[in-house]
Amino acid sequence: MIVAELFEPRRFRLFESERVPPGPGEIQVRVRHVGICGSDLHYYAEGSIGDVVIRYPVVLGHEPTGEITGGGTGVTGITTGARVLLEPALFCYHCEQCHSGRHNLCDNIRFLSSPPEPGFFREYVNLPAHNVLPMPDSLDSETATLFEPLAVVLHSLQFAHIQLGETLAVFGAGPIGLLTLAALRMTGAGRIWVIEPRAERRELAMQLGASAVIDPAGTDAVRDILRETGKRGVDCAIDCATKAGTIQAACAVTRSAGRTIVTGIPSEPQTEVNFHVLRRKELTIYNIRRSNHETPAAIAMLEANPKLFRTLITHRMDLAQANAAFDMLETGSGGAAKIVISI
């Protein structure tokens, strides 16, 4: 089978690898499409996420869809050729966090594409049967790759108890920010401001239902939002960018007793936060770690409006174009937002 591996910073190569048969309880899947995630981009450009450092070579990609090609012993009820979604997280199911229902915090988690586990930039993969989910007939394989990041978004909104009609500010209109916006609009949020420096992404945000977009390079976003809300601020601010002071700005525009969500993954392990703003406003800050049981809701949301979510996918490229795809996302060239790789 063909595999794309990152063998040094910013450089992929393709190679042939043995196709291993599925083990007991496993399903083998022919991977068809994989979305590129922001965490993939961190590994590509920086070689790490926080204290998780990759050892080259590594196989990235954890937003996959595909087709069943077979099953190992003990697997029943599968259909060869059936289209499926693939959950990248493998939980132990016996640690304290798993027993408490917070599987996303599993002490022994194996997350495919996070070191040392290989991801899905390969033609075939074997997974435990419970990690292979049926793909709804109404979804195409490319759009369905959004199920994994959308589940993360829904986890953030549920975790922070977002309510009908609340006002929100979303910092960053990359894929996670745009998915956050789409989910908020579909679940009845009130006025939503989106803060994003790239013009093409601000345009996408308007298409997805933003009430207003702000270019932080051209104006003071905090001042503008506070002015428009009569100095009250928004009920909740969501930092999907985590760059250049966005967490500070998110806290600044959040009303007293409001909530700030940090969904994005920062490049820097530390950032400045004005503690007095947090203290005086008695803010609650929610940090998000992947998703936790939100996959069914994410699939249902994609089914409800596939045309809306297809808007996010700006580019479709082949596995052999992995270097070009990641370069586009890192540099912001070509108006790229979400890129889906065909395997």
Domain boundaries along the sequence of the chain: 2-146+312-342, 150-287
**Residue 279 exposed, middle or buried by CB count within 10 Å (0-12, 13-18, 19+):** exposed
The whole-number pLDDT of residue 128 equals 97
The whole-number pLDDT of residue 264 equals 80
The whole-number pLDDT of residue 267 equals 72
- Nearby residues of 113 by Cβ (< 8 Å), 6 or more positions away: 39, 40, 59, 60, 61, 62, 88, 119, 120
Among the listed residues 201, 236, 204, the one whose alpha carbon sits nearest the alpha carbon of residue 216: 201
Contact 247, 271 (CB under 8 A): yes
The whole-number pLDDT of residue 12 equals 97
Q: Per the structure block, which two tokens stand in for 160? A: 């922070």
The whole-number pLDDT of residue 180 equals 97
CA distance linking residue 156 with residue 323, whole number of Å: 31
CATH code of the domain occupying 2-146+312-342: 3.90.180.10
The whole-number pLDDT of residue 222 equals 97
Alpha carbons within 13 A on the beta-carbon side of 302 = 29
> What is the SS3 assignment for 297?
helix
Spans in the chain with pLDDT lower than 50: none
Q: Which CATH number fits domain 150-287: 2.40.110.10, 3.30.230.70, 3.30.70.580, 3.40.50.720?
A: 3.40.50.720
Q: pTM for the complete prediction?
A: 0.93
**Residue 93 exposed, middle or buried by CB count within 10 Å (0-12, 13-18, 19+):** exposed
